[in-house]
Amino acid sequence: MRRINPKDFTMATRGTSREINRQIVLTLIRTHQPLSRADLARLMDTNRANITLLVNELLDEKLVREGAQGSLRVRGRKPTFLYINSDKGVAIALDVRASRTFLMVTDSIGKQIGDIVSFPTKFDPVEFVASLGWQARKALRGEGGLSSCDGIGIVIPGMVDRKTGTVINAPKLGWNYVNLVEMLEKEFEGTEIHLENSGRACALSQIWSTREDVHGQNDSVFVSVSDGVGVGVVINGELMRGKHNTAGEFGHVPLSIDGPQCSCGAHGCWEAYVSNLATLSRYFGRNINRKQPEPIETIEFTIEDLITRARGGDSKALTALQSTARYLGLGLASVINAIDPSFVYIGGEITEGWDLIEPQVREAVRERTLTKDLGNTPIRIVPAVEHPRLRGAVALVTAPAFAAPKVA
């Protein structure tokens, strides 16, 4: 059971149950659209009169719209299907990485509009904000001449404080206590800015997905392996953030205190063994640092290139990937032992070679988990083409309209 926090609660009012039911209706329409009023009544196990009142309110507020009519007649007339009014607004999602920043424009329910664009990430915060402003306006102009958006969700590879809008520490970017939201609010005057850590954003992307296979999954972990390692933890359907906004920082839990140096400055972190740069460094036989001058072959060589070589019979490439796979599995075992999730999701470029590394990952998980059941925790791959970081950034903007009201 969930204890009521005597210092952080909201009183229930006469309208609380109605507000909750409104959110349920919105969520069901979003998940199952197109949906008729009769379908809603069946899903909510209530009468048509209650549904009619709720739907009419949502139609008046333009949160829901009516669409085509069904072919089957109900009580002498054809049902009219309901949809979320996705034309109500526009959102911008941003995935900031040390190498490049990715930008996506969506409608108010997160449906992608146009192509995803990317541009080099500026490490100076002032230059970064100016670059971002130019790219965002360019993207909006390209989508029907839009001049503004309703919200911007931005995902950072590091620790963030969402309440103050501060990037506490993003080692890959060299940012410490940068009040990014304040800077962005000046650049995008009147636009709501939402900030989140990349691992937690990926977890959000699964919470708010409309795919049937993720429904009802209230306890899960998302591990994003890219330039670094981000981890998001969901317990009882809620994203864990912790008192100091550092919950889920498993990427900086050491596998060995004598291991390679991590971007955070410590030695032997999980990230230092499994990030893309760690895998490429293993392949080239030396530590690769994207911020330092490197031979052109190294600069342009990606983890996807390594996977291609492994598939082509390059034994050195395959060995590098499989070494990463073992370290990935060992770290996952620690996460599973600590959280005991129903599912583990893995995202990032290395998943394109999942068929090459899955046996080593699962073997390492079984080797280090505390029980047989923990060792058999389902692991699911989220392909890079699903863009979980960007989807999580979108959810920061769009999800509050569908979130359950806080009553205790």
pLDDT tens-digit map of 339-367:
999 999 999 999 999 999 999 999 999 99
- The pLDDT value given to residue 145: 60
State the CATH class of domain 217-384.
alpha beta
- The pLDDT value given to residue 408: 45
- The pLDDT value given to residue 112: 87
- The pLDDT value given to residue 376: 96
Mean pLDDT of the region 262-271? 92
More confident residue, 367 or 401: 367
Residue 246 · residue 231 · CB < 8 Å: no
Residue 162 · residue 154 · CB < 8 Å: no
Q: What is the C-alpha to C-alpha distance for residues 84 and 379, in angstroms, rounded to an integer?
A: 32
Q: Is pLDDT of 20 > 80?
A: no
State percent of the chain over pLDDT 70.
85
Cα atoms found within 13 Å of the Cα of residue 135, Cβ hemisphere only:
23
Per DSSP, what are the bridge partners of residue 166? 161
Average pLDDT, the chain: 85
Q: Is pLDDT of 173 > 70?
A: yes
Q: Tell me which residue of 95, 204, 231 sits closest to 156, measured CA to CA.
A: 95
CATH numeric code, 89-203+391-399:
3.30.420.40
- The pLDDT value given to residue 292: 52
Q: Where in the chain is the domain with CATH 3.30.420.40?
A: 89-203+391-399, 217-384
- The pLDDT value given to residue 390: 94
Which range is least confidently modeled, 168-182, 263-277, 296-310, 338-352?
296-310
The C-alpha angle 93, 251, 347, rounded to 5 degrees, equals 50
Which range is least confidently modeled, 19-23, 253-257, 291-295, 388-392?
291-295
| Digit-coded pLDDT (tens) for 204-255 | 988 876 555 554 567 899 999 988 899 999 998 888 988 888 888 999 999 9
- The pLDDT value given to residue 280: 95
Q: Where in the chain is the domain with CATH 1.10.10.10?
A: 16-87
CATH numeric code, 16-87:
1.10.10.10
Largest CA distance in the chain: 75
- The pLDDT value given to residue 296: 45
314-334: buried (b, 16+ CB within 10 Å) or exposed (e) per residue?
A: eeebbebbbbbbbbbbbbbbb
